[in-house]
Each structure stands twice: as C-alpha cells, then as structure tokens.
Amino acid sequence: MPEPIVNEFHVAPVWLTRDYVEQKLRLYFKDAKLQLTELQVTPGTANGENYASVMTRINVEFKDKDQAIQRATFLVKTTFADKDPAAHLLGPYGIYVREMDMYQEVLPKLAAIVKQELGDPRKLFAATVNVDRDRDSIIFEDMSLEKYFVADRIKQLDREHMQLVLEKLAEFHAASAVLNERQPGIFAEKYDRCFFNNHTRGYKPVMQNMVKALIRSLEDDKELHDRYAEKLKGVVEHIMDYGERTMIPKKGDFVTLCHGDLWTTNMMFKNNTQGKPENVIFIDFQFSVYNSPAIDLQYLFSTSLQDGICHIEMVQFYHGKLVEALKKLNYNGAIPTLFDFQLQFQARYFYSIFSSFCFLPAMLHSGNEEFSIQRAASFAEKDAEVRVELHKADVMRPKVTKLLPFFDKRGLLDEM
C-alpha cells in the first residue's frame, strides 16, 4: 500500500499513519475487513492560523468488506497544550480536554435527542470518527464536502441567518436540559467554567487590557472621552467581579448546557438550492458551560448580529423555539415564561459589555498582522498600541459610539 502523501509545508502528526487511520476507520464504519488503499494528508487551515492546535485534512480511499472502493475526507484536530504560549492562561479553564469530552460523551447524546425525539433530521454537529485522548486529537467528518461554510465575520449575521442559529441553539439547550434531567449531574463538574468562573481569572489581563485600550482609543473624541473614560476605568477595576457575578444563576433561572463561545466562526451554514440557509452546525466546544442560556444569547448578539436588529425581538423568537422543544421533550422542570426569560437575559447584560469591548474588536480585525491572546494579554507598549487601533478601526468605532450610551443608560458602566 502507498505511503501517505504529506504537504511539504504542513507538519502532520507523526502518528497519523496508514495503520492508525485504517484502524480508526474500521471502528467508525464497523467494518473489520476495511482496507485503506490510499491516504493523503494536507493542511486543514492556513499556515500560522492557529498555534495551539493543528487542523489536518486526510483524504482516504479504502475497500469495504464487499471490496467496493470508497473515498472520503476527514479533518483531524490536534491540540498541543505543551506548545501553546497561552497555556498558562488557558490551561486552568480545562479547554484542552473539554472539547474531547463534548464530542465523545455529550454531543452524540444531544444529536440523538434532537433527531429522534424532536424529529429534526438536520445535523447538529460534525460527526466524530474518533477521540484519541492519548494524542489530544479528534477526527471529524469534513463538513465542507457537504457544502457547509463559515459566514463572513465582518458582515455578521442577518435576521434570516440569526433566526436559524437561534432555532438550532434552542434545540441544543432544550436537549441538554433534558439530558441533565435524565442523567443528573452529567454537567456538574466538567462544565463549571467559562470566561468567568470561581476557579481561575486567567483572562483578567486580556479583559483589562482591552478595556484600557478602549479608553485610550476615545482620546481623539473629547465628548466621548469626557463622558465615559472615568466610568470605563471602573469597569477595568471590577470586570472580573462583575463577570463572575453574571455567571451566578438566580433563583428560578432556567439553566442548561451552553456552547459558551458561539459566534460566526464557531458555526457553519449550509444553503439550499435557492441559496437560502437550511441548516447550521456548531463547532468548537472548548468553553461549553452549564449556566443560563442567556449568556449564549448575549455573547452571540454582541459578536455576530448585524446592527439594527432588535435583540429583544430575537430573544422572543428564541424563547418560542425553546418552549416548543422543551414541551415536545416532556421536560419536567419549570419552563420560563417570556417575561421571566427576558429578565434573565437583561440580568446578564454585563456579558455583552465584555464580549463587545474585549473580544469583538479582535473578532472584527482584518489587518495583515495577526492578533492573538498573547498580544491581548501583553503589557508591552507596542501591543497596547495595536489594541488601541483595534478599537479605532472603521468597523469598530461606530459600534463603540452606539454601545457606550446604550450600556450607560442601563447603569452598566456605574459601580454595581
């Protein structure tokens, strides 16, 4: 059998051999006689796109038990925590194992509930071929072959795309709530920390640096600076306290498993023959957390919803889909009324502050120079200047101008 063909510019994992892939495919297809006849290994992402993990695409040809020739393509995601320069920051959040837990233990169960009990045949996530904890790797089906694509993060999502996301997110949340009801405690220990939690404040320098950069970016607008600079200094000082307070469920809150990092690049759409979106799947579950689904909505709207679309209207749409799914699944817990859930959403507006001012500037960055967690956390002046420029970018400044009075009128920039 031929040796794997490896792209010379891509460092593929040395263990990704013909024998290894053949063994995993036999298990996946439940075919002990499967014979791998060809393996081609190429980069799954552009060079330098992600330092902490490598995405590798493998094209395979194999003979099944009936000697029929089959061809398929898969993606291999390999995490290198020991080589990640941000490992000291990210490690305590447990992200290096959580995604493997999700794909191996949780997502298959949620997908079965959605398909069999909600009657939705659409995919919820990319099928998992194999999770290898010894090698910190996951093999997925390659969704691009089914014409799934990532939306434009700069343009963000219009109403039609957002409503599709909210429909699928409601199913994800409802199925998770029912799974937790059937398997009490399934999310208790492994899904207890997101960007804010009671265990680590690793993101503190990132968040404080980004808000400090926002303050500096306002210096060329005297009116904005005079009105908001001092208040934003208070946000810098208390950002972790306020964020952690946001994560504490209130009595009567509906809680479930949340994606935790849901924005445009962590979802993939598929269009129908008329070019209209017919499905969306979610990817990258490293920050999944058991909490109020309102944090998913606040984060999603702040990072991925086009300007001019009413958040409260989108919450109403989501709530309708959530209630429909919970009732269909015979959920025994308390189903929140729209009024109660709107209050739950509003109580987590601080989540919108951090996602809008700490993450969104980097998400909308389109310059030639890469912006990383390391640059966000750095105390070097050159990196501080880069952060200021992110806030002053043409795509970001209009958002800042609208968001500051929005948050200020709600008392979110005052001491809380």
Distance CA 287, CA 294 (A): 15
Give residue-wise pLDDT tens across range 87-112: 888 889 998 899 999 999 999 999 99
Looking at the fold, whether 39 and 159 belong to one and the same domain comes out as no
- Whether 84 is covered by a domain: the verdict is no
Nearest Cα to 213, choosing from 358, 363, 415, 380? 358
Let me know whether 392 and 330 are in one domain. Answer: yes
- Supply the range of the domain harboring residue 39: 5-79
Residue 85 within any structural domain of the chain: no
Q: Are residues 112 and 225 in the same domain?
A: yes
Look at the chain and report how many structural domains it folds into: 2
Which tokens is 320 given? Answer: 């309708």
Q: What is the pLDDT of residue 11?
A: 58
Domain contains 22 = yes
- pLDDT exceeding 90 applies to what percent of the chain? 84
**291 and 385 together in one domain:** yes
* 294 falls within a domain: yes
Question: Is residue 188 located within the same domain as residue 60?
Answer: no
53-74 in b/e form (b: 16+ CB < 10 A) is bbbbbbbbebeeeeeeeeebeb
Extract the tokens encoding 416.
């809380």
Let me know if residue 220 belongs to a domain: yes
For residue 415, being part of any structural domain is answered with no
189-205 pLDDT tens trace: 899 999 999 999 999 99
Instruction: Tell me whether residue 259 is in a domain.
Output: yes
User: pLDDT for 208-254, tens place per residue?
Assistant: 999 999 999 999 999 999 999 999 999 999 999 999 999 999 999 99
Is residue 215 packed enough to be buried (19+ CB in 10 Å), middle (13-18) or exposed (0-12)?
buried
Q: Are residues 154 and 227 in the same domain?
A: yes
Does position 1 have pLDDT exceeding 90, yes or no? no
How many C-beta atoms lie closer than 10 Å to residue 371's C-beta?
Answer: 17
Each residue of 5-24: pLDDT tens digit? 333 334 568 899 999 999 99
Rounded to whole angstroms, how far apart are CA atoms 169 and 162?
10
Asked whether residue 320 falls in the same domain as residue 176, the answer is yes
What residue spans of 154-293 are helical by DSSP H? 159-182, 204-217, 222-246
Task: Specify whether 291 is located in the same domain as 380.
Answer: yes
Evaluate whether 192 touches 276 at the Cβ level (below 8 Å): no
Q: Look up the CATH number of the domain holding residue 10.
A: 3.30.360
The whole-number average pLDDT for the span 304-316 is 97
